[in-house]
Amino acid sequence: MTGALYAVSDLHVSYAQNRAVVDGLRPESADDWLIVAGDVGELFADIERTLRLLRDRFARVVWVPGNHELWTHPTDPVTLRGVARYEALVAMCRELGVDTPEDDYPVWHGAGGPVTVAPLFLLYDYSFRAPGTTTKEESLRAAYASGVVCTDEMLLHPDPYPDRESWCRARLAATARRLDATDPALPTVLVNHWPLVRQPTEVLWYPEFAQWCGTDRTADWHVRHRAAVAVYGHLHIPRTTHYDGVRFEEVSLGYPREWGRRGGEPRPMRRILGDAG
């Protein structure tokens, strides 16, 4: 198997400038895979259209949801909430031939492999608390007082769970069982929209936002589950870091006002493993 395993996230295709960037995402060989680590868009039709376009181009597409896909946006004709919305997204992906966190984990056999590519959907539980706070309630109060509040609080519904942290706990338990059952002889590429460790959030301009960025319950998953690479997005701070000797890749495009400041033509697709075309 030739080709490469690429990754991208936070395409936010509601912006015309981002749609133009997405139109330029093309494989370099017929064997290239693409990881899409969440936040394709907010509207169901936009998400479907984008994933269809990418699936038509790449040999395999692996998707995980971000918080924006899970929003029940007031302008979206698809009014499903919470788990029902997620399940509808999974069904749509299966019709397109796109891998999801609910499918068997594919194995990459190209250069750098074999590795198990594990798409994860874990959410967050407010354990990345705002500085100086010790409870979720205190952390949220600090965020509201500073004016830094994630739109999830209005649009990401946890139904039928009572709250987002309960949904997160359920996702963590189910996902840990699946990862524990993977082939122990193979390393993994762990793909989650939110970072598995808190350290990447330390560079946020607004530290109060970290509480919507992950959970401390996954702090050792990159070691425990043999990660060769951990792929994430959400922070809109594309970079490569290492924790406990494991490479972490933040692969987001972000909003036009963000990537525009970096100058030049945005090239958000990052090669994770494999040979360049």
CB atoms within 10 A of CB 91: 12
CB atoms within 10 A of CB 233: 31
Helix H or strand E segment including 274? strand 270-274
Which CATH number is 168's domain given? 3.60.21.10
263 confidence band (pLDDT: 50, 70, 90)? confident
Radius of gyration for the chain, computed over Cα atoms and rounded to the nearest angstrom:
18
Q: Which residue has tokens 């608390």? A: 129
Residue 54 is part of which domain span? 5-273
Q: How many domains does the chain have?
A: 1
How confident is the model at residue 131, as a pLDDT?
A: 94
How confident is the model at residue 264, as a pLDDT?
A: 80
Give the predicted TM-score (pTM) of the model.
0.96
pLDDT digits (tens, 9 = 90+) for 164-212: 999 999 999 999 999 999 999 999 999 999 999 999 999 999 999 999 9
Q: Say if residues 213 and 235 touch (Cβ distance below 8 Å).
A: yes
Statement: residue 247 has pLDDT above 90: yes
262 confidence band (pLDDT: 50, 70, 90)? confident
Residue from 267, 214, 260 nearest 25 by CA? 267
276 confidence band (pLDDT: 50, 70, 90)? low
Q: How far apart are CA 191 and CA 196, in angstroms?
A: 9
